[in-house]
Amino acid sequence: MSTVTLADIQAAAVRLDGLAVRTPLIESPALNAELGARILLKPETLQRAGAFKFRGAMNRIAQLDDGARARGVVACSSGNHAQGVALAARMVGAPAVIVMPADAPAMKVANTRAYGAEVIHYDRYSEDREAITNAIAQDRGMTIVWPFDDLDIIAGQGTVGIEMVEQARALGVELTSVLAPVGGGGLIAGVSTAVKALSPRTSILGVEPADFDDTRRSLESGAREKIDPVSRSICDALQSPSPGAITFPINQRNLDGVATVTDAQVAEAIRYAYTTLKLVVEPGGVVGLAALLSGVIDVEDVTVGVVLSGGNIDPGLFASILAGEL
């Protein structure tokens, strides 16, 4: 099966220049002191549409020919990929249809519609989103923009990794390790490919919700494991049913481990990000920070890059978390 190379990611970086935000690499003296390490945060919360997903979506959609653009694109997503695809499609003048779970955060649904996309809901626990997406593509002649299992999507997400290595070196440091959230695996597949090529000694660690640990279990078994359909988590962005057919082999090669965090640990990290770092981060986007603050990953005396992958948190959920109700 084809894979993604550093050259693919570098080409995506050129394609995205002036379109995607080159988000900063920032640090907090308070966080460094608390953990006894140097923590460099990559806030993709500041990316267009509020999450890293815009990078992959734009890299994929920007390469469509005129005919494909006119027919439009269709995607399935719980929210961040939905918004990224909707915005990227609007920027190139293409219609967009997004298949979203009925229980997707209201803000993410509203934002997707605000970017001009048509939203079609489905039940994530009883319906097959890929079958629905394929049917729409066939009926309307649209191009499918998959959320993670696509080489152009992975390459676009990998630009996060290029930036992290370059920005760390501009600060005069080499990253000991990089932490990134894992859902379907597209972000960490791209980031790990870029980082391993540019900084081979840097370790790559994924972080998943405790009840959505399909990548951790898949790495242990050597086969793509599935999530129990009854599993629930506040990390709506990380609820893919299994690792991708394309992303999993990449992550098998590149990842040095996968940690898991509970919803309680995620909620505490959201509160810390807001009160101490002055950042608004959504549950799925904060799992790397949660792993550090909870001690799930020990980083004393090293330099760690952490991807904060998105900031699209539902206001009601955010208020409940800040109030200590979760």
Closest CA relative to residue 250, chosen from 52, 55, 58, 2: 2
Tokens found for residue 213? 């640990």
pLDDT beyond 60 at 117? yes
Closest CA relative to residue 178, chosen from 204, 196, 198, 154: 204
Q: What's the DSSP call for residue 20? A: S
Q: What class does CATH assign to 54-144?
A: alpha beta
- Residue 47 phi, psi dihedral angles, 5° rounding: -70, 160
Number of helices (H), then strands (E), in the chain: 14, 9
> For 282-292, what is each residue's pLDDT tens digit?
999 999 999 99
> For 59-78, what is each residue's pLDDT tens digit?
999 999 999 999 999 999 98
The answer to pTM > 0.85 is: yes
pLDDT for the residue numbered 113: 97
pLDDT beyond 90 at 260? yes
> For 241-254, what is each residue's pLDDT tens digit?
999 999 999 999 99
CB 305 within 8 A of CB 248: no
Mean pLDDT to the nearest integer, 151-162:
98
Q: Please list the residue range(s) of the chain that carry CATH number 3.40.50.1100.
A: 6-51+151-322, 54-144
The CATH number assigned to the domain with range 6-51+151-322 reads 3.40.50.1100
d(CA 192, CA 196): 6
pLDDT for the residue numbered 255: 98
pLDDT beyond 80 at 1? no
pLDDT for the residue numbered 78: 81
**Residue 90: how many CB atoms within 10 A of its CB?**
16
